[in-house]
Amino acid sequence: MPLAMQVRLLRAIQERRILRVGGVTPIDLDIRIVAATNKDLKHEAAVGAFREDLFFRLNVVTIHLPRLDERREDIAPLAMHFLSKYGAAFRKAVTAIDPEAMAILANYSYPGNVRELENIIERGVALADGDTLRVRDLPSDLRQLSFDSMEGEGLASLEDMERRYIAKVLERTGYNKGLASKILDIPRTTLWRKIKQYGLE
């Protein structure tokens, strides 16, 4: 926000009233302000890019929201939420995410944060030709990520990949078997059997 606009905002917050352009009668304000930023405003104020007095006016209660790659347990639930949202928006019955695709999503770094995950799922739903979002529906750089990780660790058996993926989903969901079975798109009874088979109790 330009510094001149910051001055006007500060005045409105302090005086709790505004004057419309061309108006003569001040209008009283009864408002609360919720402000969000991806910048370090304390630093911005120190270097003169943000008014210090406005910073202190806005900085009453601060909530720090970690980046998505710092709270990976949120990736799967958010992915399923966006899947439902864009399935409805595009009128497509895409209701599940393939385990391999979910593994890629769970391990991606998300430089664009939650919005990037939303864009990935929106694109995937648009391209999906069945009821499941698959690796081929992901952007090419994410598909390459999957191939690179396989090359780096050697090709594992399908059974070993399944065991590792189920273990990772259980860990990320805090062993919530209901949520894990939804993410894996398998019945809970099948999940119980797999847990016993792979010794993941």
CATH number for the domain spanning 136: value is: 1.10.8.60
Does a structural domain hold residue 122?
yes
Give the pLDDT of residue 175: 87
Stretches in the chain below the pLDDT threshold 50: 150-154
Long-range contacts of 115-119 (CB under 8 A, 24+ apart): 116/68, 117/68, 117/75, 117/78, 117/79, 117/82, 118/78, 118/82
Evaluate whether residue 130 is within a structural domain: yes
Domain shared by 79 and 49, yes or no:
no
Q: Residue 86 is part of which domain span?
A: 68-198
Note the residue count of the chain. 201
Q: Which secondary structure element, helix H or strand E, spans residue 97, and what is its range?
A: strand 96-97
Q: What is the pTM of this model?
A: 0.57
pLDDT of residue 157: 66
At 156 the pLDDT is 57
Same domain for 27 and 72, yes or no, is no
pLDDT for 152 = 47
What is the domain count for the chain? 2
What does the pLDDT read at residue 144?
Answer: 75
Q: Is residue 137 within 8 Å of 121, Cβ to Cβ?
A: no
**Residue 149: what pLDDT?**
52
> Which tokens belong to 6?
């910051």
Radius of gyration of the chain from its Cα atoms, rounded to whole angstroms: 24
Identify whether residues 49 and 140 lie together within a single domain.
no
Rounded Cα gap, residues 69 and 117, in angstroms? 11
Give 96: exposed, middle or buried? Use CB within 10 Å, 0-12, 13-18, 19+.
buried
Same domain, 122 and 175: yes
